[in-house]
């Protein structure tokens, strides 16, 4: 039995009892008065009283039934109204949900037909490229070790350090041209490898410029650990404002290594430009050529690393425009490189 039915029965019993008690009391008073007046016999009065009570009860039940029917009709109407609202809400929700499911289904189909194949191709291309790069760097590392025969615990390459393939390129230039002086913009693992290359050549020295004093000390420790102090000179050259020469109006002042660190250098045969870091300034490595070219030999070679970056390609184009004696070729190495050769016949 529901809560509604329980309340209805309680209400019905309460009202029926009131009507029966009221009707019985009234009938008893009337019949008692008639019997007292001698108008009715006692037996007749009792029979009429009982009949009146029953009649009153029946009348009370009839009234209660009518009231209950009205209440049930009202509740039925309210229930029907609430049910209708609920049904409409459910239908609207189903319509919205159905629309959303259709949109999701269409988007999934588009992703399956358009995006997924392209993503798969990109992943395959990236994996293949990385695999080729890793293989090439391993080959270059092995060739460097076999050719230079360095110490057993060499500093790591790649990442922040130069990659093995660009060092192989530099070692090849050193072996071919045998420069007496090599300058490196930046220092670290590459300084040690280049030191071994100069030792194998039988002469020459390397000057590496480092703007961070702490890293300069670490590089010196590496050089000392490999017994290359007589070949490699790590110079702390903090970044200062480099001011272009008079007449070079298109070159704005920017931070570069303190020029005092290179003031005593002459006849530089090879320059490896691998610093300052990219975040130092826009085209941070541009001052390398205007600052170092006056100290270079007439047939000097300049190698610019990281030409996969747009900034390095742009600044190298500026070098070519400003210094006609330079010619350039690109090298396919992991991070990209451009090799600039100074034409001795231009002097």
Hey, is 179 helix, strand or coil?
coil
* The Cα angle at residue 148 between residues 144 and 235, in degrees rounded to 5: 95
pLDDT band at 158 (very low <50, low <70, confident <90, very high): confident
Q: What pLDDT digit, counting tens, does each position of 307-345 carry?
A: 999 999 999 999 999 999 999 999 999 999 999 999 877
**Is residue 161 pLDDT above 80, yes or no?**
yes
Taking the CA atoms of 165, 166, 169 and 174 in sequence, report the sign of the dihedral they define.
Answer: negative
All residues at 6 or more sequence positions from 317 whose CB lies less than 8 Å from its CB, including other chains: none
**Is residue 86 pLDDT above 90, yes or no?**
no
Q: What pLDDT digit, counting tens, does each position of 284-309 carry?
A: 999 999 999 999 999 999 999 999 99
Given a contact cutoff of 8 angstroms between Cβ atoms, the answer to whether 313 and 307 are in contact is yes
Given a contact cutoff of 8 angstroms between Cβ atoms, the answer to whether 325 and 342 are in contact is yes
User: How high does pLDDT run on average in the chain?
Assistant: 81
Calculate mean pLDDT across residues 245-259. Answer: 75
Does this model's pTM top 0.95? Answer: no
CA end-to-end span of the chain, whole Å?
114
Length of the chain equals 347
More confident of the two residues 86 and 166: 166
DSSP assignment letter at 112: I
What the block records as the tokens of 324 is 């006609």
Identify the pLDDT of residue 244: 83
pLDDT band at 268 (very low <50, low <70, confident <90, very high): very high
All residues at 6 or more sequence positions from 18 whose CB lies less than 8 Å from its CB, including other chains: 60
Identify the pLDDT of residue 65: 56
What the block records as the tokens of 94 is 């189903």
- The percent of residues in the chain predicted with pLDDT above 70, rounded, is 65
Q: What pLDDT digit, counting tens, does each position of 105-144 carry?
A: 777 777 677 766 766 676 666 666 678 878 889 999 899 9
Given a contact cutoff of 8 angstroms between Cβ atoms, the answer to whether 301 and 174 are in contact is no
pLDDT band at 256 (very low <50, low <70, confident <90, very high): very high
Q: What pLDDT digit, counting tens, does each position of 190-215 carry?
A: 999 999 999 999 989 999 999 999 99
In the numeric block, the tokens 């600052």 are attached to: 291
């Amino acid at each position: 039995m529901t809560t509604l039915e329980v309340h209805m029965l309680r209400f019905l019993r309460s009202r029926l009892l009131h009507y029966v008690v009221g009707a019985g009391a009234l009938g008893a008073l009337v019949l008692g008065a008639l019997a007292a007046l001698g108008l009715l016999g006692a037996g007749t009065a009792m029979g009429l009283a009982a009949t009146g009570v029953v009649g009153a009860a029946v009348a009370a039940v009839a009234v209660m039934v009518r009231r209950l029917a009205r209440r049930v009709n009202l509740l039925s109407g309210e229930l029907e109204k609430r049910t209708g609202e609920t049904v409409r809400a459910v239908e609207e929700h189903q319509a919205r949900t159905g629309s959303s499911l259709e949109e999701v289904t269409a988007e999934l189909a588009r992703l399956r037909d358009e995006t997924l194949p392209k993503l798969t191709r990109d992943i395959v291309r990236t994996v293949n490229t990385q695999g080729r790069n890793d293989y090439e760097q391993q080959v270059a590392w092995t060739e460097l070790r076999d050719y230079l025969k360095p110490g057993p615990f060499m500093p790591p390459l790649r990442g922040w350090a130069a990659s093995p393939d660009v060092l192989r390129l530099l070692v090849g230039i050193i072996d071919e041209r045998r420069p007496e002086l090599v300058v490196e913009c930046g220092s670290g693992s590459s300084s040690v490898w280049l030191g071994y290359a100069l030792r194998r050549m039988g002469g020459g020295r390397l000057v590496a410029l480092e703007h961070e004093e702490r890293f300069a000390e670490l590089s010196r420790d590496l050089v000392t650990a490999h017994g290359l102090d007589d070949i490699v000179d790590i110079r702390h050259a903090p970044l200062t404002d480099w001011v272009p020469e008079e007449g070079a109006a298109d070159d704005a002042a920017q931070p570069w290594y303190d020029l005092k660190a290179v003031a005593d250098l002459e006849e530089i045969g090879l320059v490896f430009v691998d610093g300052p870091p990219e975040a130092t300034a826009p085209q941070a490595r541009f001052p390398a050529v205007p600052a170092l070219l006056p100290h270079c030999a007439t047939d000097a070679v300049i190698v610019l690393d990281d030409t996969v970056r747009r900034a390095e390609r742009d600044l190298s184009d500026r070098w070519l425009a400003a210094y006609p004696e330079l010619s350039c070729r690109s090298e396919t190495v992991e991070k990209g490189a451009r090799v600039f050769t100074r034409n001795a016949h231009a002097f």
